[in-house]
Amino acid sequence: MGEGTTIRATFRPSVRIQVGDGPVSSFGGVAYLREFEARTAFLGPVVRALEDPRAPGRCRHRAADLLRFAVYARVLGFPDLADADLLRGDPLLRSTLAPGVQDQVGDPLAAKSTLHRFATETLTRRANRRALFEGLVQTGLQPVLASALRPRRVYVDVDSTEIEVHGKQEGSCNNGYFRAHCYHPVAVSLGDYGTTLGFLLRRGNAHTAQHATLFLLPILARVRRLLGPDVEIVVRGDSGFADPTLLAALEEHGYHYLIRMRENARLLGKAARIAGRTPGRPAKRRSAYRYLSFAYRAGSWPAKRRIVARAEFEPGTLFPDWTFVISHLPRRTKRRRVVRQYLRRGRSEQAHDVFKNELHGDLMSHHRMVDNQVRGLLTALAQNLVVAFDHATRGRRRPRRPATVRARVLLVAATLVRHARTLTLRQIGRAHV
């Protein structure tokens, strides 16, 4: 390897044709990602907490290598376990994900059968699922922990989505709201950074706020433990999470929240003062806004809570569009800022779009629900790895989409050449880190 044969062309003496046996790879940028993951010990907390029930003398692939292979395959756009047979022979992936001796290309990676047993038998153990849940929080906070200045306030978004299935998967049901046979998972994310802190797969007919309290509070406690008690944590959610139990639990544990409420006659009556347009000729191109803050108590609430209402008058419309937000922030927070910070929750929907469409987290093809839960956690780890890598290399909060990172950084042609005791990676193209 590394020594080729040079042939001088007869048709033109200045042209020389060199024939070598250096292996070629299409994933030349994976070395950058692997170096970042090694320096930051990104998957270290998950790897250290994994329990491997297999006999050590009969295992060819370590649990750490199998976990890393499953995560990197999703980053590269190969989420199906059957894709392992296509990737396991790639020389660069073998050298980075399963390194052998110093000057040799690593052994072939795990086949699809080995990776399937690892995902459905090893990772589904209770201790390993707990390790994935806890590791997901720490990897999701990586962009915040790596920054020089800690933010004074962190916004944690909780949202539910649908994952449509096309078989008889365990726990999948028909959902009348989404009009599909699906799962109805709940996800917790840092919408401002694009990372996922938690993913819980639920039955297709589950209510939006079902299990939200028991699932969210441990995540928030771990976020507070990692960031410190001085950082304020604000939970944002849509109207489906305006559950009295969840609101009371957040207040009891000292968390702030911005939760939307559905319109009703009492709320519209309270906000009647801003239901009319301001005097003067209405704008023809821009919307006009009016804000109001008042105390409100629903029938299931033990006390009054602050409600911030916004009436939006779009050009050419007679009636306003309403936004009602339950605000548990310091009283000094202005009404306009309360609504503006809540509306930034839309970035979490972009994170869900990346999870489902670009990393193919909606492929829930296993029969057992616990297997699909592990599959979703692995996809969330891959999403956090891409976001943290892009944040570290570019230094910007808004990450690029995984498809952009693949095209500009990861999918670069390269060759491996052996010289003495080293392996040299020669990129044919240029990675735009």
User: What is the Cα–Cα distance from 50 to 68, expressed in whole angstroms?
Assistant: 12
**Domain locations along the chain:** 5-121+399-427, 251-332
Cβ contact 338:360 at 8 Å:
no
pLDDT (mean) for 400-406? 87
Question: Residue 304 contacts by C-beta under 8 Å, 6 or more apart in sequence?
Answer: 295, 296, 297
Q: Judge whether residue 152 has pLDDT over 80.
A: yes
pLDDT (mean) for 270-282? 81
Reported as a pLDDT band with limits 50, 70 and 90, residue 255 is: very high
The rounded Cα 289 to chain-centroid distance in angstroms is 33
What pLDDT score was predicted for residue 285? 78
> Which residue type, as a one-letter code, is found at position 422?
T
User: What is the Cα–Cα distance from 345 to 236, expressed in whole angstroms?
Assistant: 7
Q: Note the maximum CA span of the chain.
A: 92
User: pTM of the prediction?
Assistant: 0.89
What pLDDT score was predicted for residue 2? 41
pLDDT tens-digit profile of 374-401?
A: 999 999 999 999 999 998 888 766 778 8
Cβ contact 324:260 at 8 Å:
yes
Order of strands across the sheet that contains 321-327: 195-200, 186-190, 153-160, 232-237, 256-261, 321-327, 305-313, 288-296
Cβ contact 34:96 at 8 Å:
yes
Q: Which two tokens stand for residue 192?
A: 């401002």
Reported as a pLDDT band with limits 50, 70 and 90, residue 20 is: low
